[in-house]
Amino acid sequence: MDILRKLVFSAALPVLLSAACTFGAAPPTEPQQPGEPSPATAPPVPASPSAPQVAETASVSLPSLPAPELPQILLTVDAVPSGGRIAPLLGVGGGPLPPDRGDGAVLTEEYQSVGVTMIRTHDMGGPLDMAIIYPDQNADPRDPASYDSEASDQVFAAILEGGFEPYLRLGDSMHTSPGMPTLATRAPINPDNWVQAAVEVVRHYDEISPALASQGGALNDRLEQYTSRFLDYLQKHNTPLDFFSWHVYTSDAETYKQLAEFYRAQLDTHGYTAAESHITEWNTAMRGEDETDAVRNTARGAALMSAGWIGLQEGGVEVSTFYRGNEHTNRGNMGLFTPEGDPKPMAWAFSLWAQMTAHPDRLNISPESEQVNPLWALAGRNADGAIALLIVNPTDTPTSWQAVFAGRETPASATLYQVSDTAEGVQAFIPEAPAAEIEDYTVQLLIVRP
243, 277 in Cβ contact below 8 A?
Answer: yes
Which residues are bridge partners to 450 per DSSP?
none
Q: What is the pLDDT of residue 177?
A: 65
13, 50 in Cβ contact below 8 A?
Answer: yes
**CA 413 to CA 44: how far, in whole Å?**
23
**Per CATH, the architecture of 29-85+360-449 is what?**
Sandwich (2.60)
Q: What is the pLDDT of residue 178?
A: 66
Please enumerate in sequence order all residues whose Cβ is within 8 A of that of 180, keeping only pairs 6 or more positions apart, or say none: 125, 126, 129, 131, 132
Q: Where are the domains of the chain?
A: 7-13+87-357, 29-85+360-449
76, 366 in Cβ contact below 8 A?
Answer: yes
Give, in order, the Cα–Cα distances in Å from 273 to each of 129, 140, 245, 268, 269: 31, 39, 15, 5, 8
* Conformational region of residue 232, where left means phi above 0, alpha means psi within -120 to 50, and beta covers everything else: alpha
Q: What is the pLDDT of residue 395?
A: 98
- The four Cα atoms 220, 221, 227, 231 give a dihedral, to 10 degrees, of 150
Q: How far is CA 131 from the centre of its chain?
A: 28
pTM assigned to the model: 0.85
**CA 98 to CA 447: how far, in whole Å?**
34
The pLDDT tens digits for 312-364 are 999 999 999 999 999 988 778 999 999 999 999 999 999 999 999 999 999 99
Alpha helices in 57-190 (DSSP H): 108-114, 130-133, 150-161
Q: What is the pLDDT of residue 330?
A: 76
Please enumerate in sequence order all residues whose Cβ is within 8 A of that of 127, keeping only pairs 6 or more positions apart, or say none: 101, 121, 151, 152, 154, 155
Q: Which residues of the chain have pLDDT under 70?
A: 1-60, 175-181, 183-185, 207-208, 210-218, 410-412
What number does CATH give the domain 7-13+87-357?
A: 3.20.20.80
Q: What is the pLDDT of residue 29?
A: 37
Q: What is the pLDDT of residue 176?
A: 62
